[in-house]
Every structure is written in structure tokens, then in C-alpha cells.
Structure 1
């Protein structure tokens, strides 16, 4: 059952043609937010964004190498400033970096966090339309003021509603109701098309209540400048950002620490640099995985050995109780199983009624079965 199926007690079957799709109302009693909602999925998940302007098309998917620095210091053309009054939970202190990068033309916004300012960039235009100044304390980010507008004729309340939606939906990655113009309340198809044009395919449900404040279950995190420096194997920047105060064990939007990210690097240099700067070799991801577990899954023996030398616990268990040895046995990584056993991995650890041996047997990993039986 999908996540959205759990949120709604009743859903309508999706049509193959968005032009013929009815846009159903979801009564307050039938959804987790307890407000009337418009089910936008028949349009927003089925439409494809196109542009006759080749530059706009290129702009829309031009953000993969962006860390936000190209938009630093740029003010919106619209200078209207309003009070913010929006608060979202953070995982410690939100680090400067990327909150969302468009991957397709159906992603309408890029969002960055720099110098305590949120920057909202219209993806197709590569234009900063809105910025928001913030303060942080007690694991919360509070928007103090908002400058600019997303639309020409929006009210301050609607501006705040869009900022809130983009932070929770684009930034945190949770499905929440997208704010819709009250003028389209009696025109559900137009409202759905409007939602696609403004929010893209990430708008799955909508509300005409611009003052509604949804509750989300996860904190706002960034792909920090430190994470990005690690991904680029940029040693000077790794040291620079740690010394500037980005926590070396902070988690990114994907729930991974810089040390986890360093496993994707061709060399062990980024990992060595992070460990020298105080990274915890046993740092946990949002799902409880340690770098050793990820090294085993990636068959990254050199990184594994470096982590063990730094004091990594080869018997650490994730949130479900699985260890690195469970992973290596199930995935058939013979060399990693040998390395783990050489480093005193516990072959008898049980997780969800499975040992490493039982997983190897289930997957018919003959060589690993022999190693674990010795």
C-alpha cells in the first residue's frame, strides 16, 4: 500500500488521460489533515512539462552542479517585504547548502540556504523570485521576513503559505497540501493545472485554506556545503567548512553524514580528511546505518579498512538490528565477509529472526555459507 493510500481512506482511480480526469474532493473526514482537500494527482502526476524555449528547457535541468553560490547576494525584482512567522524543525542547526535541486522539468523550484537566508529560484528562469531571512534556535528555523512574490497578485498570507509548502514539500520531502488560489475553488480542473504550473509534480493534494499549517514528521536538513565539498573531493573546502562551523557529523537531506558520502568518492582522501577533522567513524544515518555498513554494501574494502583503523564498530546494528555482516552475507560480498570476520564480527547476531548465515543460505551464497559455518 502506498504512502498516500495510508493518508486517504478513499481515493479515486487515476485516468490515463489528464484531460479526462475528474479532480475529486477529499472530505475532511477522509484524510489525515482533517480539512477538505483537492486530489491533484490525476493532473500533476500525469502531465509532462515542455517548453518551446530551449533556454528555459536547459535552465530547468541545469542545477546538478549548483551549490547556490551563483545566486548569493541576488535580491528579488519584487522588493515587497512581509513578516514571516513560519517555523520548521531542524536537525540541530540547519547548515548552509542545498535544500532542493530540480532533477526534471516538472520540478519548478530550486531552494538554497545561505547566510541565514532562504533563496527560492524559479527553475525554468533561473531567477531568484523570493528570499526569506531566518533565525535559528532550539532546533528550529524561524522565518522572520519574506521579500518578493511568487505570483504577481498574491496576498501576504498566500506568500507565506507557498514558502511553508516549499519548505515542507520540496525541502523536507513530505506530502503536504499545496496552497491553491481561492478564486479557483469552484474550478477544480483549473486549480489542478494551476498547481502543476506553479509547483510541478510534487503537488499531489491541495487546499484553498491559505492559513492551514501542516505538521511534518521529519526535520529540515540541507545538502550542506560540507557534504558537497566531500562529493567533489575538494580537500581545502572540506577543511574550510568544518572550521567555519558546519558540524562534521551533520546529516544531509538524504539522512547521511559526510562520512557516508565519502564512500562514493574514488579515493579515500575525503574520508581521511573527515576523520582527521574529528568525524565519528560510528556516526549514524537517519535510518541508523553506520559508514561501515555502507562500506560493506558498496564493497568498498579500502574505506572499510580505514574506518576500522579509526575505531569503527563492526558489530554495530541499525534500527532494525542488522549488522554489516548481515548485509555482506545477503549481498554476496565474499571479500567483505572475510574482512568482517577477520575483525571479529559477530556471526551469531540476530535481526528479525535472521543471522548472517541464514541470510546467506536464503540467497544460496555457497562460499559465504562455508565461511560462516567455520
Structure 2
């Protein structure tokens, strides 16, 4: 069977906000911080921004993919991809992971997740672009990611930990429905830039940004 390269489509995003001002607050590690990481609270931005596109083709792609279960992705390669070995383990009931694991419900949802043939595909909901392929093994009590194939970009070329953190974040938030911090590139130093990057990456499914690795995040009991 031929392996096809999926054409890259640019996400032409336009924002609309329902509040005129945003408040960004850094929280140091303390009893008031729900995580064991220094975090930037960006909820005033990510939870109040509406996203839409003026590109009719992108809008049609988004709508078309609401009906997909991702089976067509088994023939898709990531052009110019790189790989990284990892050891990420998550609780699971032992069943084969097949079909759609998460589907975007609106354009503020930026990701779809599918599983086929022991590979988890993380695709952009607007365009269907495969950004990450996580290669897994499934046991009775968990599933383990041992390798991630990914699209190199201006940020992860200098910091591969962003790849691991992003995949971990997407699984924790979208598959396990957890409130969790996400890692942002160190080159982003302005709070508004961090919020814009975060929303572009994760839409309204992000709340707290951090410069730290997040695989070892501990969520404190309130």
C-alpha cells in the first residue's frame, strides 16, 4: 500500500474576544499554586477568545474532519519528520486503542486524537495535519509511549523536550480530562506572547503556562 504525504495547509486564524482586557499572573511554587511548577495564569485570555478562519477551504476541512475516525491516517507519513525515544506510561484498561480518542467540538479546540495499529495520531483539527505520531505498547493496566515522530519547527529544533511535553499535555488534558500546565518555549518572554502562542497551540484547552518540563508535574490536592 502506498504511503501518502499529507499536504500542509496553513491555519489562517482570526481572533475575537469577549472582554477588552486580560490579566496575566505568574504564580510561584507555593500553597496557593496547584502545581509543583512556576506557572503563568493565562485563563483570562484562553478562556475568552473565539477563533475563526476567513479561509473557506480551512473551514471546510475542519467540518469534514468532524466525521473522521482517523483510519485514513495509517497511510500518512510526516514529511521531514524526526523521532525521539521516550518512556511515558499512562493507566489503561488493556483494550486496543482504535478509532477517535478525542474530537474537537469547536474551532477553539485545536486537536483531534486517533489511535490505529499501536500508533496514536495527534492532528490539527483545522487542517488534519499530523503533527505527532506516538508509538505505543498496550498492557493489561497501562499503555506506554516509547517513541514520538514529530514535525520539526522553530521551537522544538532547539528544545526537543517541547515535543515530549506537548504530547504528554495533550494526553493528560484531552484523553484524561485533566487541568494541567503546558510548557512554552524559553524564547517567549512577554506574557501576551505566551498567551497567544498557547492559544494558537491548544485553543481553550490550556490554562497555565510554564517554562519547566511537565512530565513530572504533581497536581496538589485542594
What is the TM-score of this pair, normalised by structure 2?
0.83
Deviations 1:252-277 (A, max 9, x none): xxxxxxxxxxxxxxxxxxxxxxxxxx
Q: Is the 8 A contact 1:180 1:210 kept in 2?
A: no
Alignment RMSD: 2.1
Of 206, 210, 213, 1:210 maps to 213
Largest Rg, 1 or 2: 1
Aligned twin of 1:193 = 196
**Structure 1 CA distance for aligned equivalents of residues 54 and 108 of structure 2:** 15
Aligned partner of 2:148 in structure 1 is: 146
Aligned length: 201
> Partners in 1 of 2:111 and 2:86 — Cα distance?
19
Cα distance change on mapping 1:61 and 1:111 into 2, 3 Å: same
For residues 216-245 of structure 1, the C-alpha deviation after alignment (integer angstroms, 9 at most, x for no partner) is 7xxxxxxxxxxxxxxxxxxxxxxxxxxxxx
Q: Which has the higher strand share?
A: 2
Gaps spanning 5+ residues in structure 1: where?
Answer: 1-14, 217-374
On the 8 A contact 1:89/1:140 being kept in 2, the answer is yes
SS in structure 1 at match of 2:187: helix
Give the aligned partner of residue 26 of structure 1: 27
Deviations 1:93-130 (A, max 9, x none): 35312111111111111110110001011111111122
Q: Which runs of 5+ in 2 are unaligned?
A: 1-16
Of Structure 1 and Structure 2, which has the larger fraction of its residues in helix? Answer: 1
Written as runs of structure 1 = structure 2, the 5 A alignment for 1:60-71 is 60-71=62-73
Contact 2:36 2:217 in 1 (8 A): no
TM-score, length of structure 1 as denominator length:
0.50
Is contact 1:44–1:203 with CA below 8 Å preserved after alignment? Answer: yes
Match of 2:177 in 1: 173
Structure 2: distance between partners of 1:211 and 1:175 = 12
Q: How far apart, in 1, do the equivalents of 2:50 and 2:214 lie?
A: 30
Shift of the 42–139 alpha-carbon distance from structure 1 to 2, 3 Å rule, reads same
Deviation for aligned residue 1:150: 6.6
Secondary structure at the counterpart of residue 69 of structure 2: coil
Displacement of 1:16 in angstroms is 5.7
Give secondary structure in 1 for the equivalent of 2:75.
Answer: coil
Structure 1 stretches of at least 4 aligned residues deviating more than 4 Å after TM superposition: none
Distance 1:60 1:176 in 2: 26
Q: Is the 8 A contact 1:106 1:201 kept in 2?
A: yes
Output the CA distance in 2 between the equivalents of 1:194 and 1:64: 24
Paired residues of 1:157 and 1:211 also in contact (CA < 8 A): no
Deviations 1:322-355 (A, max 9, x none): xxxxxxxxxxxxxxxxxxxxxxxxxxxxxxxxxx
1:87-98 equivalence runs, <5 A: 87-98=89-100
Partner Cα distance (1:60, 1:172) in 2: 23
Any conservation in 2 of the 1:61–1:104 contact (CA below 8 Å)? no
